[in-house]
Amino acid sequence: MGNVTVVGAQWGDEGKGKIVDWLSERADMVVRFQGGHNAGHTLVVGTQTYKLSLLPSGVVRRKPSIIGNGVVVDPWALLDEIKRLGEQGVTVTPAILKLADNAALILPLHRRLDQARETAAGSGQIGTTGRGIGPAYEDKVARRALRVCDLSDDATIAYKVERLLAHHNAMWRGLGQAEVDGAELIARIKDVAPMILPYAAPVWEIMSDARRDRLRILFEGAQGAMLDVDHGTYPYVTSSNTVSGQAAAGSGIGPGAIGYVLGITKAYTTRVGAGPFPTELTDAIGQQLGERGHEFGTVTGRKRRCGWFDAVMVRQALRVGGITGIALTKLDVLDTLTEIKVCVGYDLHGARINRFPSAMVEQAAVKPVFETMTGWNSSTRGARSWAQLPAEAIKYIRRIEELIEAPVALLSTSPERDDTILVRDPFAD
C-alpha cells in the first residue's frame, strides 16, 4: 500500500474535504503541507458538520495529523479551531496533532497589512481573505519570519520582532499610519507560546520514521492548482505552491514518497474572488449551479462564481501537478440540465489554443470553445455504483476522461462520505 497526495485541480473549493475524510479512514497519518487558514475543508460525518481551516482532516478520525513546515500558522486561529472542534466533541491533543517546529507564524501585523493592501488596491484587489497569509510568506522568504521553534526563547522572540518591525514600521510610516507597538506584540506572542509549544515537533523526523515503517500517509493539499503562485492565474493566486510537488518540500520528505496524486475536480467549475474565468456563467444557469451546489466559501462565506467544466484548464493542472487520476465531485448538481457544455479549447484573438496562457492580458482575452452534450435529467445523487448512473451521465464522465487525459478514480455523488463510487483505490498503487 502506498501514499496518496490530494490536490485541487481547479481554483479550489472542489470538495477536497469529503474526499480526504473518505481516504483518511484508510490512512495511518494525514499531513497538511501548504497554505494557511485561508482555505477551508468541510467534512460531513453522520449528522455532524466540521469546518476545518488549519487542522488536517485526519483529526476528526483521531488519526495522527501533521501541520507541515510549508504551512504558515496563525497560532491564535489554530487554538480557536482546536477549541471549536472540542465543543463538537473532537479533542485535539499533542498526541494527535504535531506542528512543524520550523513552520513560519502569522502575526497580527500580517493580518493588518493584508487587509490594508486590499483596501488600498480598490478595483485592483486580487481577492485575498485578509488573514495575513501573503505577508507571512513574504517575511518567510525574506528570512525575517518568527517560527514555531522561536517561541521557546524570549531573547529570540525579541530579536525576531525587532527585525520584523524594522521592515514593517517603515512601510506604515510611508503610508502615514500608526506603527506596530513592539512591546505589545511581544507580550501577545509570549502569552500564546505556552499553548502552542506542546504541539511543536521535528516533523521531518516523524515523516522519515513513518516512511521507514511503511505507514500509509495522506498528504492533504489546500486551494487548487490554478491558484498556484507559479502555475496559476497570477497575480490572482494564493501565496504558496499548491501542486503536488509541494507535498514533499512542505512536509520534509523526499518527492518519491508522495505516491498516487489524486486531483479533486468538480463536474463544473467555480472560483472565489477576482481573476480570469473563461467558462463563467453570469446567467440563470450559473445562478442555478450556485444554488444547487451551495457555492459559498467555507472560510469566508463568499459566493462562488460558477461556470461550465473547463477541460483545457484541468488537463493543464494535471500535467503540471503530476496528477495520476481524479476524484470527480458534485455530479448531481448537473442533474436537472437538459444540455451541458464542456470547454475543449480556447480562442485567442482568432487562433485556437489548447493551453491556459501565462500572460495576464492573454488570460483575460481567451474565449472558450464549447462542446455540447445531452443532459440526463434524472438524479445521480447518492449513487454508489455505475449501474445506478444514467447512461448520459456516464457518457459525460467518459468524455471528461478523454479530454483531460486521466481516469476518474473516485466519483462523489453527494456530500455524504459513503455516497462515493470507488473506481480505483489510490492507496493500492
CA–CA–CA angle 285, 290, 295 (5° rounding): 165
**308, 279 contact by CB (below 8 A):** yes
Closest CA to 221 of 238, 203, 239, 244: 244
Which residues are CB-neighbours of 375 under 8 A, at least 6 positions away? 334, 336, 337, 338, 339, 340, 392
Collapsing DSSP states into helix, strand and coil, what is residue 414? coil
Cα–Cα distance between 94 and 81 in angstroms, integer?
A: 14
**Phi-psi sector, 408: left (phi>0), alpha (psi -120 to 50), beta:** beta
Q: Of 37, 41, 168, 231, which residue is the catalytic one?
A: 41
* DSSP code per residue over 388-413: GS-HHHHHHHHHHHHHHTS-EEEEE-
The three cell numbers of residue 53 are: 481551516
- Taking each helix axis from N to C end, the angle separating 391-404 and 311-321, rounded to the nearest 10 degrees, works out to 50
Side chain identity at 220, as an amino acid letter? E
CA–CA–CA angle 141, 41, 280 (5° rounding): 85
Task: Confirm whether 41 is a catalytic residue.
Answer: yes
**Phi-psi sector, 337: left (phi>0), alpha (psi -120 to 50), beta:** beta
* DSSP code per residue over 123-144: GG-----SSSHHHHHHHHHTT-
Task: Confirm whether 181 is a catalytic residue.
Answer: no
Q: Of 13, 114, 228, 419, which residue is the catalytic one?
A: 13
Catalytic positions: 13, 41
